[in-house]
Amino acid sequence: MGQSLSKSWLVFRKGIRYSYDYIGMVMAASALWFFIGFLPLLVATTFSTYIKNPTVVGIALALTLVTLGPATAAVHAMMARILAREEVMVREFFQHFSRFFGRSIGIVLLNVLILAILASDFVFTINHSNNIVRMLSGIWVYFFIFWALMSNYIFPFLVNQDIGVFLTMKRAALLALDNAVVTIFLTISVVLVAGLSIVLAAAVLLLMMGIIAFLQNVAYLELMQKYDAEEEEIAEDLEV
């Protein structure tokens, strides 16, 4: 427990330090994430006065699901490269956006489906006439909490290991399960950053996604060190 708390503090401290050291890149990447990721919704909102059609808003929401995933992956890829001591340029956002476009959309759609299933099952059980079935509604709350925990590692796995959608989800889930304490504190940190960004409004444009990407990628790298060390030990044992 003590080691996990120490690791949690290390992740938070490193994530914030990198965010401060690369504040210019954080601001640029976060702004691009906001404007590119939410572009369809921003356009629909801008012209909502002239086009009062629910269908247009629905299409804008659907298109936002298409743009938000690749934009998020692009920010994560940029921050992952910074953590790898590589030189990063702002224009690389669009290269990463294109590179992870298909898989990011797949990840977003899969997660929307998961959330829809969890929500529908929760609503069904909580409104059921049978008391026993209503008691089971708590199970879906725990599943939602686990989804929130594992979501911290989805994009770090995608951009660092360059793997497919289902393998990304599987590895994110396993990492969260095996490192519950660190993941809980990471989630709290991410929620705090997101909450402050929403309250301060302008921070959504200038800081939020960059800081979150740093926190999540630092956590990924710190936790994966344990498994890399285990693989090295196994390799050494096999050689002997």
Residue pLDDT, tens place only, 176-235: 999 999 999 999 999 999 988 888 876 666 789 999 999 999 999 999 988 876 655 544
Hey, how many other C-beta atoms are within 10 angstroms of the C-beta on 39? Answer: 16
Mean pLDDT of the chain: 88
pTM, full prediction: 0.90
DSSP designation for 129? S
H/E element holding 79? Answer: helix 54-83
Residue pLDDT, tens place only, 121-167: 888 888 877 777 778 788 888 999 999 999 999 999 999 999 999 99
